[in-house]
Structure formats: structure tokens, C-alpha cells
Amino acid sequence: MQKLHDLFHYHFSGQMAEKICNGSSLDDVVKFVISLPKIAALETNLGHVFHDKRLLVTALIHPSLGNEAGVLQKVNYQRLEFLGDSVLSLLLAEKLFLEYPENSEGELSKMRAHLAGQAMVAQLGFGMQLADFLIFGKGTSLQLETTQNPPKGLVRAVADGVEAILGAAFIDAGLLVAKAVFEKFTEAYALTYQKDYLDMATFNEFDPKSRLQEKCLTAYKVLPIYDCRTSDDVLVCDLIINGQLAGQGQGLSKKEAEQNAAREALANMFKS
């Protein structure tokens, strides 16, 4: 993937937002935005050159811009995000169905819910450096934040942007192209986080208690037992399987301690 920071040295903020706000129409805004080298770089990294540039630009416009640009009061990524949410759900369902033939409908549903959650979708966007392309209003500080421990507002905006781009690709060229764009997002994710987007370890992190219960019932026909106690103002949980200590976890709440104990048990007993 091209190094986008090397291709362009500023975000869509400040002077950029001012120029966009001064546009007399959406077409003016589109013409200005697509003239930027970084937009061509984004299309290259997405693996799709949009036939209708209005779709791509709209997918990048954060609702905050409408507060400052009268012509864009009703133009932002929200409608495309609505569509892209369903596109993403379908693509995930197909991918999980094909890659995990032994898993039940319930397991696949949990996997999809996790992968389609805001935090995971945002990671797809951060892997593609999407935060550098979203067009915010001058009054918001979101575009000034880094992706190291990003604020919730930026996480939400990047996740919305991913879905909006998938929706835009679907309208622009159909489901197969939207699928190809999604694959580009997952490739960027793998490069950034050094793991596959559908890595089974990810699901263990998401809902370790449910995952461990399913594993225990399948392998041993027993349920795990959680024994929690307080130690130095922290809850400590011992996890017992078949009378043996399988894992131990700590947390500020019972739920957190149990989840951490389940994660350790999964790592100790069910590594695959």
C-alpha cells in the first residue's frame, strides 16, 4: 500500500475545510476534492476508481462540515453509511460461512456481530489511514487527533466512513466491487495489526466466556465454574474445569475478572 503521509502533508481540515465551505455547489466541492493527489492514492489503495466521484466525496464528508458549509447541510456520509452497514453485514456473513464450515449459526452470528462492531470496523479504517481522508468541519478537533488511543468520536467517524465507502462502492459498481474494496480494507488491517481480520483469537477476545462454554460443552460435557474473591481491592477469579484450575483473571468488576480468566483458560486449553 502506498505511504499516504508521503503523498500529502495535511489533513482535510483548517484551510482545506475553508476552501470546501466556499464552494458554491456540491459539484464545486467534488471537483476540488478529487483534484487532490491523495484522493487518487485512496482510490489506488481501495482498488477501485469511482465512476461517480460524487459518491466517493460524499462518503468522506463528516456531518460536522454541514454546520459551516451551507451548500452541504444535507450532504454527508450518513445515507451511504446506512447502506454500507448492510453491505458489510452480507460480506461478513458470506466470508464467515465459507471460512468456518464447522461453526454453528449461533457462533457465526456472534462472530459477525463482533466484526461488524464499531471498534473492529474502525480498525479496518485506521489500517487504511482513513482518518486522513475524512472531511470534518473546522469547528471539530477530531481531525487533529492521532490514531494512538483515538477518542470515541474519531473511532465512530472512521467506522462510519468505512461503511459509507462500502455503500458508495456498491452503488457505483455493484456487490463484487464492494467485496473487492472490503478485501483491500482487510489486507490493510493485516499489514497494520499483523493478524488476519477473521483470526479466531479475535473472537476469543470478544466473548471469551461464551466461547469457553461452547468449547467445554463440546470437549468435556461440563460447564466452567467461576470462583471470584476480592484481593487488595481487585476481584480475582479462579476458573475451574473438571475440578482443575484452568485459568485465573483479575478485574475491577466481576465481569472483567471472569472474562480475563476465560481468556487465560482458552489460551491454556484451546489454542486452535
Mean pLDDT of 15-38: 69
Q: What share of the chain is helix, strand, coil (3-state, %, to 5)?
A: 65, 10, 30
Separation CA 34–CA 42 (nearest Å): 10
* Res. 55 pLDDT band, cuts 50 70 90: very high
Active-site residue set: 85, 163
Domains of the chain and CATH, by start: 4-198 (1.10.1520.10), 207-269 (3.30.160.20)
Residue 18 has pLDDT above 70, yes or no: no
Cell numbers linked to 196: 488476519
Separation CA 194–CA 202 (nearest Å): 12
- The 10s digit of each residue's pLDDT in 195-217 is 999 887 666 666 788 889 988 99
Cell numbers linked to 54: 460524487
Residue 189 has pLDDT above 90, yes or no: yes
Residue 66 has pLDDT above 90, yes or no: no
* Res. 6 pLDDT band, cuts 50 70 90: very low
The terminus-to-terminus CA distance of the chain in angstroms comes to 30
pLDDT computed for residue 202 by the predictor: 66
pLDDT computed for residue 211 by the predictor: 82
Mean pLDDT of 19-31: 67
Q: Is 151 helix (H, G, I), strand (E, B) or coil?
A: coil
Q: Is the pTM of this model over 0.75?
A: no
| pLDDT, the chain, mean | 84
Mean pLDDT of 166-182: 98
Mean pLDDT of 76-100: 96
* Res. 242 pLDDT band, cuts 50 70 90: very high
Cβ contacts of residue 52 below 8 Å, gap of 6+? Answer: 171, 172
pLDDT computed for residue 144 by the predictor: 44
Q: Is 1 helix (H, G, I), strand (E, B) or coil?
A: coil
Separation CA 2–CA 123 (nearest Å): 18
pLDDT computed for residue 192 by the predictor: 93
Cβ contacts of residue 36 below 8 Å, gap of 6+? Answer: 8
pLDDT computed for residue 171 by the predictor: 98
